[in-house]
Amino acid sequence: MTAHVSLITLGVADVAAATAFYQALGFRLSKAASQPEVSFFQAGPLVLALWGREAQEHDAQAQALWTGNGGVAIAQNLASEQEVDAMMARAEALGATILRPAAKTFWGGYNGYFADSDSHLWEVAYNPFWTLNPDGSVDLPD
């Protein structure tokens, strides 16, 4: 097994509120795996978790490391420009902050960016050069 990513955890202020947001956005909550303190979603090929930011900082002893928010962008790739527009509209309707409306990109694709209420950065993208698998994953060439 080569090195890989299995799961990402977003530190949030209110787990219940963030869970409601991501469910409404279309993520599939695993009720069996979740608890009031932590939510787990099957996010296509990845597990997306929501956990209290302070609990997470304490668990990882990351208080000095986490100086604010930033440095990571999470991307959802979709199958067309229309799907990108629909997902951006859904996020905006749910209260997300639109950072950059969807538009053609310099690399020949189409994307937009939004932030959730905990300042996590999401990209919603259509990349015509990459093949998207049914579960939302992408297989890169060597």
Footprint (CB under 8 A) of a second copy, residues 34-73: 40-48, 53, 56-57, 59-62, 65-73
Contact letters for a second copy, residues 115-134 (x by CB under 8 A): x--xxxx-x-x----x-x-x
Nearer to a second copy, 16 or 130 (CB): 130
- Could you tell me how many residues of this chain bind a second copy (CB under 8 A)? 73
> Among 16, 28, 103, 131, which residue interacts with a second copy (rule: CB under 8 A)?
28
What is the arrangement of strands in the sheet containing 110-115, beginning at the earlier edge strand?
97-104, 110-115, 121-126
Contact 94, 122 (CB under 8 A): no
CB of 103 to a second copy, least distance (A): 11
Residues in the chain: 142
> Among 14, 16, 17, 79, which residue interacts with a second copy (rule: CB under 8 A)?
79
- Residue partners of 74: CB distance under 8 A and separation at least 6: 8, 120, 121, 122, 123
Question: Quick one: angle between helices 81-93 and 15-25, nearest 10?
Answer: 150
Nearer to a second copy, 22 or 110 (CB): 22
- Residue partners of 63: CB distance under 8 A and separation at least 6: 57
> Among 20, 52, 74, 81, which residue interacts with a second copy (rule: CB under 8 A)?
74
> Is residue 93 near a second copy by the rule CB under 8 A?
no
Q: What are the tokens at 54? A: 């302070």
